[in-house]
């Protein structure tokens, strides 16, 4: 387990920590500029994207050097820059960024691998008409991912996290004219959203409990001992402390992003996107964000553990990781799409990282994350090169014998494949060995260790199967395979170099990486007991896997449509694996079916019940309105109209009398006088 | 004192003249004839004044005479005003036909 490390609090942040925000900001700004560029300005678009990321790489390297220098001089730095974003009453919404070994390592990895993949994309997307849009999204993704890495506020982290999810959605659905790509994008978005809901709940809970959004805030942050102590005292349900419950909620978000069982279903489908996207987002960086998140909140996950013990949250992380590692490796054995095999392999390796975090601490998981980023990006880009060379063919049964026609791709791919398998002395060997060693020494139970070992065997097996199908045997495709251009093979070569050598930073003889992340000296790290035995075991397992794979698939001449060698041996098992343990069907039959049923119920309610109610009320009001209209027209208006008419008639009569002729008046006067006289006479006589 | 002619005869003549004047004033279209009708009615009234004075209780007092002379003077003034008005109207409307003078309509 990781010791409580003694980071020296730095009050005055250094220059590079002050401008660390530039690392994500530069690609984001570049993305904004590319967004307003005109479609034909392809060179400007890719130049901007690559230039901005190169600048970020330089800044990341300076930051890394700064942290490294601090560590070499005694204590690694953890510098934070915090500021208040919004003030709501007495509560502050604070954002900030942090520069510590974890962030520095991740920054360098993301910018470096990202840059190589950007360069590779120039070649891969050369003929795509939406070239500028692609680089716009890619840049936005890089910025958001770097934002996740440097975030010191869980809110800022979540914002960048969602941005990353958005760009992932946009890029999976990049070829949205393809219905399968559009569906895959939707699936990825919705599945990760399930995890993100829990993540958000965890954030709210953490904020409610600790009153701060910051991770590190010179003693007042949520990951520092004061807040953790408070979280441990508070008990949630089922015997969990608040720290454990929040840790589990955050892990749900991480599991969604990192494709852990049972939220793994979106990741293989995400291969519908362009291959550079698969390499960058769905293998090297974004899916690692979940692992990074757990590493970032590790003090929270670990809080409350006794010496050498574990916590509920970490146990869950371990088990989910180990099960995922084996589960996905099993499925990968029976896939035929070159990218899908790699996708399941990614899910499996993410499981290793999670398990590594659970059993061994931040350094163990992160080390595999870093090495995996290099060799998996290499494998995906190699696969992209193969797909390009085989005229957009993705089925490994329609490839074969490419080792001759695609020499560079083959050599680099082989390096990546051996690193992934954990072949001795390759980078994957050291990082995977670290995880296996920690799992072996894990207190509660050995089961995760056995699962992971079996997973390692399968990894070697399915990668041998894939390489045999693609690069050996006989050519089963159409036309002629050709090697890709230098702009695509150069990044492959660079990545291959690191895939082979990167393990050197974390060998048991010189555990530099772990010491750096945990802020200790390399000498202070004690070796696991029985280390040599473990290394021997894992080497033997890898060799057995490779040997089995070669024995079954190696360099054979087969028909493209012929059933797989394993399928002939055990058809029912093969069918289950090929259909991915029916995970999609299971979701289709449960979650999706439930939603469908619920939607139909809601529709029925809406149409019949609420619709009827609304129609009834409408009818009532219409009747009332008709009555009002009748009253208005006939009573109110009628009486008024009648009165006006009478007035008008009377006025007309009087107007006729007032003719303006004096004689008429006189005549009337005379008649009146006569009548009056008659009355006078009549009455005096009476 | 005895008079050969009784009061009723005077009154009858007066009423006759008044009726003739009234008819003239009401029926004639010519403004001058209407004025003449009005003069006739005035004179009928004067005749009545004289007759009632002569047959009244104090014939020695000259009250009736005074009334009649006043009335005649007023009538003369009124006739002058009326003729002046008629002349003005004629200058304005080029006619003395009363049916065409309907501008008094309010």
**Each residue of B41-51: pLDDT tens digit?**
999 999 999 99
Q: Are B18 and B45 in contact (CB under 8 A)?
A: yes
Q: Is B26 on the interface with A (CB under 8 A)?
A: yes
Mean pLDDT of chain B: 86
Please give the distance of CA A666 from its chain centroid, rounded to a whole number.
106
Please judge whether A658 and B105 are an interchain contact, meaning their C-beta atoms are less than 8 angstroms apart.
yes
Beta-strand relationship, A8-9 and A77-88: parallel
Per DSSP, the three-state class of A581 is helix
Task: Please name the helix (run of DSSP H) or strand (run of DSSP E) that holds residue A83, with its range, or none.
Answer: strand A77-88
Q: Are A188 and A168 in contact (CB under 8 A)?
A: yes
- Report the pLDDT value the prediction gives residue A623, as an integer from 0 to 100: 95
Taking the CA atoms of chain A, what radius of gyration do you get in angstroms? 37
Chain A CA closest to residue B29: A663
Query: A532 vs A425, A509, A528, A536, CA distance in Å?
Result: 14, 11, 9, 6
Concatenating the DSSP letter of every residue in A538-556 gives: HHHHHHHHHHHHHHHHTT-
Band the pLDDT of A1: cuts 50, 70, 90: very low
**pLDDT beyond 50 at A639:** yes
List CB contacts (< 8 A) between A662 and chain B: 98, 101, 104
Residue A406's nearest CA partner among A477, A481, A479, A469 is A481
Band the pLDDT of B104: cuts 50, 70, 90: low
Please judge whether A660 and B106 are an interchain contact, meaning their C-beta atoms are less than 8 angstroms apart.
yes
Structure tokens at B92: 């304005």
Chain B CA closest to residue A666: B26
CA distance B16 to chain A (A): 15
Beta-strand relationship, A91-99 and A8-9: unpaired
List CB contacts (< 8 A) between B98 and chain A: 661-663
Helix-strand-coil split of chain A, %, nearest 5: 75, 5, 20
Whole-number Å distance between alpha carbons of A168 and A494: 25
Query: A615 vs A420, A621, A623, CA distance in Å?
Result: 65, 10, 12
Chain B CA closest to residue A668: B26
- Report the pLDDT value the prediction gives residue B76, as an integer from 0 to 100: 92
pLDDT, average across residues A10-20: 71
CA distance A657 to chain B (A): 10
List CB contacts (< 8 A) between A658 and chain B: 105-106
**Each residue of A494-532: pLDDT tens digit?**
999 988 888 888 877 777 888 888 777 776 676 666 778
**pLDDT beyond 70 at A418:** yes
Q: Is B6 exposed, middle or buried (0-12, 13-18, 19+ CB in 10 A)?
A: exposed
**Each residue of A441-478: pLDDT tens digit?**
887 888 899 999 999 999 999 999 999 888 888 888 77
Q: CB-CB: which of A658, A661, A670 is closest to B99?
A: A661
Please judge whether B99 and A670 are an interchain contact, meaning their C-beta atoms are less than 8 angstroms apart.
no
**Each residue of A279-324: pLDDT tens digit?**
888 888 888 889 999 999 988 888 877 555 678 888 899 999 999 9
CB atoms within 10 A of CB B10: 18
- Report the pLDDT value the prediction gives residue A3, as an integer from 0 to 100: 36
pLDDT, average across residues B52-73: 88
- Say if pTM beats, i.e. exceeds, 0.90: no
**pLDDT beyond 70 at A545:** yes
Please judge whether B26 and A666 are an interchain contact, meaning their C-beta atoms are less than 8 angstroms apart.
yes
Band the pLDDT of B21: cuts 50, 70, 90: very high
ipTM score of complex: 0.74
pLDDT, average across residues A252-271: 89
Q: Are B17 and B43 in contact (CB under 8 A)?
A: yes
**pLDDT beyond 90 at A619:** yes
Is the four-CA dihedral A596, A598, A601, A603 of positive or negative sign?
negative
Residue A660 neighbours by CB under 8 Å, 6+ apart: B101, B102, B103, B104, B105, B106
B37 or A218: which leads in pLDDT? B37
List CB contacts (< 8 A) between A666 and chain B: 25-26
Structure tokens at A179: 């219905």
Please judge whether A661 and B34 are an interchain contact, meaning their C-beta atoms are less than 8 angstroms apart.
no
- Report the pLDDT value the prediction gives residue A558, as an integer from 0 to 100: 78
Q: Is B89 on the interface with A (CB under 8 A)?
A: no
**pLDDT beyond 50 at A277:** yes
Tell whether omega for the bond before A12 is within 30 degrees of 0, i.e. cis: no
- Report the pLDDT value the prediction gives residue A309, as an integer from 0 to 100: 64
pLDDT, average across residues B58-80: 90
- Report the pLDDT value the prediction gives residue B105, as an integer from 0 to 100: 59
- Report the pLDDT value the prediction gives residue A13, as an integer from 0 to 100: 64
Whole-number Å distance between alpha carbons of A335 and A576: 11
Whole-number Å distance between alpha carbons of A330 and A454: 10
Mean pLDDT of chain A: 86
Query: For chain B, which domains are there?
Result: 6-93 (1.10.287.3510)
Band the pLDDT of A346: cuts 50, 70, 90: very high
- Report the pLDDT value the prediction gives residue A345, as an integer from 0 to 100: 93
- Report the pLDDT value the prediction gives residue A627, as an integer from 0 to 100: 94
Mutation choice for A interface testing from B26, B93, B95 by most A CBs within 10 A: B26
Q: Is B60 on the interface with A (CB under 8 A)?
A: no
């Amino acid at each position: 387990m990781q010791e409580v490390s003694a980071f020296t609090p730095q009050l005055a942040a250094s220059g590079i920590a002050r401008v660390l925000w530039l690392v994500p900001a530069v690609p984001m700004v570049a993305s904004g500029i590319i967004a307003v560029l005109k479609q034909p300005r392809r060179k400007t678009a890719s130049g901007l994207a690559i230039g901005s990321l190169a600048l970020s790489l330089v800044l990341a390297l300076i930051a890394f050097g700064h942290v490294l220098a601090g560590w070499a001089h005694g204590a690694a730095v953890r510098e934070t820059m915090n500021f208040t974003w919004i003030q709501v009453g007495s509560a502050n919404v604070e954002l900030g960024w942090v520069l510590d070994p974890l962030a520095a390592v991740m920054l360098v990895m993301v910018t470096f691998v990202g840059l190589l993949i950007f360069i590779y994309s120039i070649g891969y997307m050369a003929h795509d008409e939406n070239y500028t849009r692609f680089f716009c999204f890619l840049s936005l993704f890089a910025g958001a991912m770097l934002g996740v890495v440097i975030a010191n506020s869980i809110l800022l982290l979540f914002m960048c996290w969602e941005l990353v999810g958005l760009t992932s959605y946009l890029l999976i659905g990049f070829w949205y004219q393809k219905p399968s790509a559009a569906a895959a994008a939707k699936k990825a978005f919705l599945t990760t959203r399930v995890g993100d809901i829990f993540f958000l709940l965890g954030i709210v809970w953490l904020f409610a409990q600790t009153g701060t959004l910051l991770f590190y805030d010179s003693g007042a942050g949520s990951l520092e001992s004061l807040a953790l102590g408070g979280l441990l005292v508070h008990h949630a349900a089922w015997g969990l402390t608040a720290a454990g419950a929040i840790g589990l909620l955050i892990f749900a978000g991480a599991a969604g992003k990192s494709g852990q069982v049972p939220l793994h279903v979106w990741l293989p489908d995400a291969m519908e996107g362009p291959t550079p996207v698969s390499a960058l987002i769905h293998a090297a960086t974004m899916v690692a964000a979940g692992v990074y998140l757990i590493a970032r909140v590790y003090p929270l996950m670990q809080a409350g553990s006794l010496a050498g013990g574990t916590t509920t949250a970490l146990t869950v992380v371990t088990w989910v990781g180990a099960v995922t590692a084996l589960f996905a490796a099993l499925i990968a054995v029976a896939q035929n799409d070159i990218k899908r095999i790699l996708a399941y392999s990614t899910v499996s390796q993410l499981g290793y990282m999670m398990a590594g975090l659970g059993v061994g601490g931040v350094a163990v998981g992160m080390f595999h994350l870093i090495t995996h980023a290099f060799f998996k990006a290499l494998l995906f880009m190699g696969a992209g090169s193969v797909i390009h060379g085989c005229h957009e063919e993705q089925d490994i049964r329609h490839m074969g014998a490419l080792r001759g026609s695609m020499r560079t791709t083959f050599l680099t791919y082989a390096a990546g494949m051996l690193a992934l398998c954990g072949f001795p002395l390759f980078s994957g060997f050291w990082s995977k060995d670290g995880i296996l060693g920690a799992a072996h020494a894990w207190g509660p139970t050995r089961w995760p260790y056995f699962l992971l070992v079996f997973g390692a065997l399968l990894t070697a097996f399915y990668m041998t199967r894939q390489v045999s199908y693609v690069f050996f045997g006989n050519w089963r495709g159409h036309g002629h395979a050709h090697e890709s251009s230098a702009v695509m093979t150069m990044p492959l070569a660079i990545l291959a170099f690191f895939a082979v050598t990167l393990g050197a930073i974390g060998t048991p003889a010189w555990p530099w990486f772990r010491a750096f992340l945990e802020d200790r000296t390399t000498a202070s790290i004690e070796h696991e007991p029985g280390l040599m035995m473990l290394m021997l075991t894992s080497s033997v397992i890898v060799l057995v896997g490779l040997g089995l794979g070669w024995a079954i698939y190696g360099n054979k001449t087969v028909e493209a449509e012929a059933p797989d060698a394993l399928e002939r041996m055990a058809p029912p098992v093969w069918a289950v694996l090929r259909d991915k343990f029916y995970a999609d069907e299971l979701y289709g039959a449960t979650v999706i079916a439930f939603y469908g049923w619920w939607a139909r119920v809601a529709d029925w309610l809406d149409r019949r019940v609420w619709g009827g109610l609304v129609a009834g009320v409408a009818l009532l009001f219409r009747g009332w309105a008709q009555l009002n209209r009748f009253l208005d027209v006939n009573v109110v208006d009628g009486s008024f109209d009648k009165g006006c008419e009478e007035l008008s008639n009377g006025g007309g009569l009087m107007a006729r009398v007032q003719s303006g002729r004096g004689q008429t008046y006189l005549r009337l006067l005379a008649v009146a006088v006569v009548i009056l006289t008659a009355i006078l006479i009549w009455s005096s006589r009476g | 004192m005895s008079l050969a002619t009784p009061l009723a005869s005077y009154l009858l003549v007066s009423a006759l003249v008044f009726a003739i004047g009234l008819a003239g004033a009401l029926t004639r279209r010519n403004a001058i004839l209407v004025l003449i009708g009005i003069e006739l009615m005035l004179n009928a009234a004067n005749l009545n004044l004289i007759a009632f004075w002569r047959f009244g209780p104090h014939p020695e007092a000259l009250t009736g005479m005074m009334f009649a002379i006043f009335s005649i003077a007023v009538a003369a003034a009124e006739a002058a005003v009326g003729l002046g008005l008629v002349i003005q109207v004629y200058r304005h409307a080029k006619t003395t036909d009363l049916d065409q003078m309907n501008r008094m309509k309010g």
